[in-house]
Amino acid sequence: MPMYKTMALAALTAMLAACATVPQPLQGTYTDISTTQAQQGGAGGTKVRWGGEIIKTEPGPQETCFYLMSRPLDSEARPAARSQSEGQGRFVACRAGFYDPEVFSRGREVTVTGTLHGTVSQKVGEYDYAYPRVEADVVYLWPKRVAVAAYPPGWYDPFWGPYWGPWGGWGPYWGGGYYYRPTRVIVVPHPAPHK
Protein backbone atom coordinates (compact mmCIF):
# COMPACT_ATOMS: atom_id res chain seq x y z
CA MET A 1 0.00 0.00 0.00
CA PRO A 2 2.75 2.58 0.80
CA MET A 3 4.31 1.97 -2.65
CA TYR A 4 0.92 2.68 -4.29
CA LYS A 5 0.58 5.94 -2.34
CA THR A 6 4.11 6.99 -3.31
CA MET A 7 3.45 6.30 -6.99
CA ALA A 8 0.11 8.13 -6.86
CA LEU A 9 1.76 11.14 -5.22
CA ALA A 10 4.53 11.17 -7.84
CA ALA A 11 1.99 11.00 -10.67
CA LEU A 12 -0.07 13.80 -9.15
CA THR A 13 3.02 15.97 -8.73
CA ALA A 14 4.04 15.38 -12.35
CA MET A 15 0.55 16.28 -13.59
CA LEU A 16 0.46 19.49 -11.56
CA ALA A 17 3.93 20.47 -12.76
CA ALA A 18 2.84 19.90 -16.37
CA CYS A 19 -0.19 22.15 -15.85
CA ALA A 20 1.86 25.07 -14.52
CA THR A 21 4.57 25.49 -17.12
CA VAL A 22 6.14 28.72 -18.27
CA PRO A 23 5.67 29.30 -22.02
CA GLN A 24 8.86 28.57 -23.98
CA PRO A 25 9.55 32.20 -25.03
CA LEU A 26 9.48 33.28 -21.35
CA GLN A 27 11.75 30.56 -19.97
CA GLY A 28 15.19 31.40 -18.68
CA THR A 29 17.09 32.75 -15.70
CA TYR A 30 16.36 36.30 -14.61
CA THR A 31 17.36 38.60 -11.76
CA ASP A 32 14.80 39.01 -8.99
CA ILE A 33 14.60 42.80 -8.87
CA SER A 34 11.47 44.92 -8.38
CA THR A 35 10.46 47.99 -10.36
CA THR A 36 10.95 50.08 -7.20
CA GLN A 37 14.55 48.85 -6.86
CA ALA A 38 15.17 49.50 -10.56
CA GLN A 39 13.87 53.09 -10.21
CA GLN A 40 16.68 53.83 -7.79
CA GLY A 41 19.30 53.01 -10.42
CA GLY A 42 22.35 50.79 -10.50
CA ALA A 43 20.56 47.87 -12.21
CA GLY A 44 21.46 48.70 -15.82
CA GLY A 45 22.20 45.61 -17.90
CA THR A 46 20.20 43.32 -15.61
CA LYS A 47 18.08 40.62 -17.32
CA VAL A 48 14.50 40.69 -16.02
CA ARG A 49 11.16 38.98 -16.61
CA TRP A 50 8.39 41.36 -15.60
CA GLY A 51 4.70 41.42 -16.27
CA GLY A 52 1.70 43.57 -15.81
CA GLU A 53 -1.32 45.27 -17.24
CA ILE A 54 -0.98 47.65 -20.20
CA ILE A 55 -1.62 51.30 -19.36
CA LYS A 56 -0.86 52.51 -22.88
CA THR A 57 0.93 51.36 -26.04
CA GLU A 58 2.91 53.93 -28.05
CA PRO A 59 4.25 52.91 -31.48
CA GLY A 60 7.19 55.00 -32.68
CA PRO A 61 9.10 55.10 -35.97
CA GLN A 62 11.48 52.26 -34.95
CA GLU A 63 9.97 50.64 -31.87
CA THR A 64 6.82 50.28 -29.79
CA CYS A 65 6.82 51.12 -26.09
CA PHE A 66 4.41 49.54 -23.62
CA TYR A 67 3.69 51.42 -20.41
CA LEU A 68 2.70 48.84 -17.80
CA MET A 69 1.37 48.59 -14.25
CA SER A 70 3.61 45.91 -12.79
CA ARG A 71 2.06 42.84 -11.15
CA PRO A 72 3.69 39.78 -9.55
CA LEU A 73 4.00 36.76 -11.84
CA ASP A 74 2.33 33.43 -11.12
CA SER A 75 3.85 29.96 -11.69
CA GLU A 76 3.27 30.29 -15.46
CA ALA A 77 4.95 33.74 -15.58
CA ARG A 78 1.55 35.35 -16.17
CA PRO A 79 0.71 38.55 -14.27
CA ALA A 80 -1.48 37.76 -11.28
CA ALA A 81 -5.11 38.76 -11.66
CA ARG A 82 -5.98 42.25 -10.45
CA SER A 83 -8.26 40.80 -7.78
CA GLN A 84 -5.38 38.74 -6.39
CA SER A 85 -2.61 41.34 -6.32
CA GLU A 86 -1.74 44.98 -5.89
CA GLY A 87 0.12 46.91 -8.53
CA GLN A 88 3.87 47.04 -7.90
CA GLY A 89 4.77 50.28 -9.60
CA ARG A 90 5.13 51.03 -13.28
CA PHE A 91 7.66 50.28 -15.98
CA VAL A 92 8.07 50.75 -19.72
CA ALA A 93 9.13 47.98 -22.10
CA CYS A 94 10.22 48.86 -25.65
CA ARG A 95 10.67 46.45 -28.56
CA ALA A 96 11.67 47.04 -32.17
CA GLY A 97 8.82 47.00 -34.67
CA PHE A 98 5.17 47.95 -34.76
CA TYR A 99 2.66 46.56 -32.27
CA ASP A 100 -0.94 47.60 -32.84
CA PRO A 101 -2.40 49.57 -29.88
CA GLU A 102 -5.83 48.09 -30.69
CA VAL A 103 -4.45 44.59 -30.04
CA PHE A 104 -2.12 45.60 -27.21
CA SER A 105 -4.86 47.68 -25.63
CA ARG A 106 -5.29 49.14 -22.16
CA GLY A 107 -5.94 46.44 -19.54
CA ARG A 108 -4.41 43.53 -21.48
CA GLU A 109 -1.88 41.37 -19.62
CA VAL A 110 1.68 41.14 -20.93
CA THR A 111 4.88 39.48 -19.75
CA VAL A 112 8.17 40.79 -21.10
CA THR A 113 11.75 39.60 -20.91
CA GLY A 114 14.70 41.84 -21.58
CA THR A 115 17.46 44.02 -20.22
CA LEU A 116 17.11 47.05 -17.94
CA HIS A 117 18.37 50.34 -19.42
CA GLY A 118 17.92 53.16 -16.94
CA THR A 119 14.67 55.07 -16.50
CA VAL A 120 12.36 57.23 -18.62
CA SER A 121 10.60 60.21 -17.03
CA GLN A 122 6.91 60.60 -17.92
CA LYS A 123 4.11 62.58 -16.35
CA VAL A 124 1.49 60.71 -14.32
CA GLY A 125 -0.99 63.48 -13.70
CA GLU A 126 1.26 66.34 -12.60
CA TYR A 127 3.90 64.01 -11.15
CA ASP A 128 7.16 63.19 -12.97
CA TYR A 129 7.37 59.40 -12.72
CA ALA A 130 10.63 57.52 -13.38
CA TYR A 131 9.65 54.42 -15.38
CA PRO A 132 12.35 51.72 -15.36
CA ARG A 133 12.99 50.96 -19.05
CA VAL A 134 13.28 47.39 -20.36
CA GLU A 135 14.74 46.73 -23.80
CA ALA A 136 12.43 43.78 -24.50
CA ASP A 137 13.48 40.57 -26.24
CA VAL A 138 9.99 39.07 -25.87
CA VAL A 139 6.59 40.72 -25.48
CA TYR A 140 4.12 37.97 -24.61
CA LEU A 141 0.45 38.95 -24.88
CA TRP A 142 -1.75 36.72 -22.71
CA PRO A 143 -5.29 35.73 -23.67
CA LYS A 144 -8.07 37.70 -22.05
CA ARG A 145 -9.51 36.24 -18.87
CA VAL A 146 -13.12 35.40 -19.68
CA ALA A 147 -15.78 34.73 -17.06
CA VAL A 148 -17.76 31.67 -18.08
CA ALA A 149 -20.61 30.16 -16.08
CA ALA A 150 -19.57 26.67 -15.04
CA TYR A 151 -23.20 25.65 -14.72
CA PRO A 152 -26.40 27.15 -16.10
CA PRO A 153 -27.49 30.09 -13.95
CA GLY A 154 -29.95 29.33 -11.20
CA TRP A 155 -30.30 27.80 -7.81
CA TYR A 156 -29.15 24.29 -7.03
CA ASP A 157 -29.82 21.97 -4.15
CA PRO A 158 -26.53 21.09 -2.41
CA PHE A 159 -27.98 17.89 -0.94
CA TRP A 160 -29.38 16.47 -4.15
CA GLY A 161 -27.94 13.08 -4.90
CA PRO A 162 -28.09 9.46 -3.91
CA TYR A 163 -25.38 9.61 -1.25
CA TRP A 164 -26.59 12.16 1.29
CA GLY A 165 -28.78 10.79 4.02
CA PRO A 166 -31.25 12.52 6.33
CA TRP A 167 -28.86 12.39 9.31
CA GLY A 168 -25.72 13.49 7.43
CA GLY A 169 -24.72 9.93 6.60
CA TRP A 170 -25.00 7.81 3.49
CA GLY A 171 -28.34 7.02 1.96
CA PRO A 172 -30.86 8.09 -0.66
CA TYR A 173 -32.03 11.53 0.35
CA TRP A 174 -33.11 14.45 -1.80
CA GLY A 175 -33.83 17.69 -0.03
CA GLY A 176 -32.33 20.50 1.95
CA GLY A 177 -31.35 24.11 1.39
CA TYR A 178 -30.36 25.91 -1.74
CA TYR A 179 -27.28 27.82 -2.82
CA TYR A 180 -26.07 29.55 -5.94
CA ARG A 181 -23.25 27.92 -7.87
CA PRO A 182 -20.48 30.48 -8.46
CA THR A 183 -19.11 31.52 -11.83
CA ARG A 184 -15.61 30.29 -12.58
CA VAL A 185 -13.04 32.18 -14.63
CA ILE A 186 -11.34 30.20 -17.33
CA VAL A 187 -8.73 31.26 -19.85
CA VAL A 188 -9.62 30.91 -23.50
CA PRO A 189 -6.62 29.78 -25.63
CA HIS A 190 -5.23 32.22 -28.16
CA PRO A 191 -3.04 31.99 -31.26
CA ALA A 192 0.75 32.01 -31.08
CA PRO A 193 2.22 34.76 -28.88
CA HIS A 194 3.98 37.82 -30.25
CA LYS A 195 7.73 37.66 -29.81
Domain limits, the chain: 22-142, 145-188
Q: What is the pLDDT of residue 146?
A: 79
Q: Provide the CATH topology of domain 22-142.
A: OB fold (Dihydrolipoamide Acetyltransferase, E2P) (2.40.50)
pTM, to two decimals: 0.66
Give φ, ψ of 157 to 5 degrees.
-90, 115
Each residue's pLDDT tens digit, 60-96:
999 999 999 999 999 999 998 876 767 788 999 999 9
Each residue's pLDDT tens digit, 127-182:
999 999 999 999 999 998 877 655 555 555 555 555 555 555 555 444 444 444 44
Reference 187, options 81, 83, 100, 57; nearest CA is 81
Mean pLDDT of 176-195: 48
